[in-house]
């Protein structure tokens, strides 16, 4: 089978988030089963920021058994990257099926248009927020117009799609609200357990001689960093946490300055370590050496960061917002709190930091969860079954 995976970013832009890892893992696992897989994407590289595009990256790059086909972005608005020449690349290769990941993107529009033009079946996944992202209604006039334009195309893409791959039941309902006739298959997001092995000494590199709790994610308001800092400020004088610090690792998506001001305001510079633009290997080693992970997001569809923490038997404190409870399950593999509630988050931190048995129980449950359900091998196998069913249905029409 000749498969086109389409997404707005890929290697080396790992800081872009879950879309990159999902697409690369799908490409690697499905190609290892003997299929011809090409990942069509942009030349985003993140070397100097979230909107840096690198013409020096190889246009075609072979990685193990699959290819990455990069085309240059000549214009971008926020995370909407315009690389119109991608269309010709997909048309030239004429795949049997197209799977686009990240619907609120220009790349999904290209995938849809090529699918229509060449009558190639289209499978879609979101991972980027169809209607639920909190900032879709809080942005300025220019972005509001962009979102409305995107919404128009999102409906067109969904209505045209042969099948939809949804990460959980919450996301499935969002799709059904857009088109009740959509064929939707729930395929859990998965992580690559082979790469999640700590090879670095995180404490030694960053001269950390204390226990630490961890945040990994974009420096964005929607990630709940403000709530996290407020909650840590509330408990900083507690005896049980006197030898524990907070490590925040990530890339700026508009909230870095506000975050630094807040840390300074509460005199937390000696209790909070901020690591900007961390190498991937440092993030992996931080998981393994932390006490637990905190993801206080206002919004997530199906986050991968908790799954990565689970791979190291580390529990997660997160919020009960949107799709998160389908990944972080309260009192099973983590603790869930209300969004934007520093008092409740502070209590959860204290509860987990003072109860080693609870940390162990929740961590083991999370570890079993990723090994049994949320690994990239299962995700790829289930995706491949969906492709085969779509092609079978197409040929039978």
**Cβ partners under 8 Å of residue 288, min gap 6:** 198, 202, 312, 314
Both tokens assigned to 154: 């999102």
pLDDT at 140 over 80: no
Is the pLDDT assigned to residue 394 strictly greater than 80? yes
The answer to whether 2-190+375-395 and 202-372 have equal CATH topology is yes
Is residue 230 pLDDT above 70, yes or no? Answer: yes
Percent residues over pLDDT 70 in the chain: 95
Domain locations in the chain? Answer: 2-190+375-395, 202-372
Question: Average model confidence (pLDDT) for the chain?
Answer: 91
pLDDT of residue 240: 87
The CA–CA distances, whole Å, from 286 to 137, 198, 220 equal 35, 8, 20
Query: Does 300 score more than 60 pLDDT?
Result: yes
CATH code reported for the domain at 202-372: 3.40.50.2000
Binning pLDDT at 50, 70 and 90, where does residue 26 land? very high
185 strand-pairing partners? 165
pLDDT digits (tens, 9 = 90+) for 32-78: 999 999 999 999 987 655 558 898 999 999 998 999 999 999 998 87
Share of residues in the chain with pLDDT > 90 (%) = 69
**What is the C-alpha to C-alpha distance for residues 19 and 89, in angstroms, rounded to an integer?**
21
Q: What share of the chain is helix, strand, coil (3-state, %, to 5)?
A: 45, 20, 35
Rounded to an integer, the average pLDDT of 288-315 is 94
Q: Is the pLDDT of residue 143 over 90?
A: no
CATH fold label, 2-190+375-395: Rossmann fold (3.40.50)
Q: Which residue has the tokens 């633009």?
A: 277
CA distances from 317 to 172, 198, 268, 311, 334 (A): 24, 22, 21, 15, 6
């Amino acid at each position: 089978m000749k498969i086109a995976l389409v997404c707005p970013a890929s290697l080396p832009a790992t800081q872009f988030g879950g879309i990159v890892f999902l697409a690369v893992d799908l490409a690697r696992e499905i190609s290892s089963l003997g299929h011809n897989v090409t990942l069509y994407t942009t030349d985003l590289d993140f070397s100097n920021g979230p909107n840096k595009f690198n013409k020096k990256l190889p246009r075609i790059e072979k990685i193990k058994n699959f290819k990455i086909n990069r085309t240059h972005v000549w214009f971008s608005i926020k995370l909407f990257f315009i690389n119109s020449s991608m269309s010709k690349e997909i048309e030239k290769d004429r795949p049997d099926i197209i799977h686009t990941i990240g619907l609120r993107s220009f790349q999904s529009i290209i995938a849809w248009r090529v699918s229509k033009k060449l009558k190639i079946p289209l499978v879609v996944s979101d991972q980027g927020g169809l209607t639920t992202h909190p900032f879709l209604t809080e942005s300025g006039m220019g972005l509001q117009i962009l979102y409305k334009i995107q919404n128009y195309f999102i409906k067109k893409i969904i209505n045209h799609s042969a099948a939809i791959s949804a990460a959980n039941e919450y996301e499935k309902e969002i799709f059904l609200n857009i088109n009740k006739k959509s064929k939707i298959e729930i395929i859990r997001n998965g992580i690559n357990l082979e790469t999640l092995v700590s090879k670095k000494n995180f404490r030694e590199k960053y001269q950390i001689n204390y226990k630490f709790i961890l945040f990994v994610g974009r420096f964005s308001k929607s990630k709940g960093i403000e709530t996290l800092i407020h909650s840590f400020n509330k408990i900083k004088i507690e005896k049980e946490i006197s030898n524990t610090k907070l490590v925040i690792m990530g890339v700026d998506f508009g909230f870095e300055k506000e975050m630094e001001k807040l840390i300074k305001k509460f005199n937390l510079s000696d209790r909070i370590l901020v690591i900007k633009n961390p190498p991937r290997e440092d993030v992996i080693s931080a998981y393994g050496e932390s006490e637990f992970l905190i993801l206080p997001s206002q919004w997530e569809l199906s986050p991968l960061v908790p799954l990565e923490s689970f791979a190291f038997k580390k529990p997660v404190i997160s919020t009960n917002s949107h799709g998160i409870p389908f990944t972080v399950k309260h009192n099973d593999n983590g603790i869930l709190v209300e969004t934007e509630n520093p008092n409740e988050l502070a209590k959860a931190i204290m509860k987990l930091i003072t109860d080693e048995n609870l940390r162990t129980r929740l961590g083991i449950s999370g570890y079993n969860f990723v090994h049994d359900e949320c690994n990239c091998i299962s995700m790829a196998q289930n995706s491949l079954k969906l492709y085969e069913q779509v092609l079978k249905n197409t040929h039978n029409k």
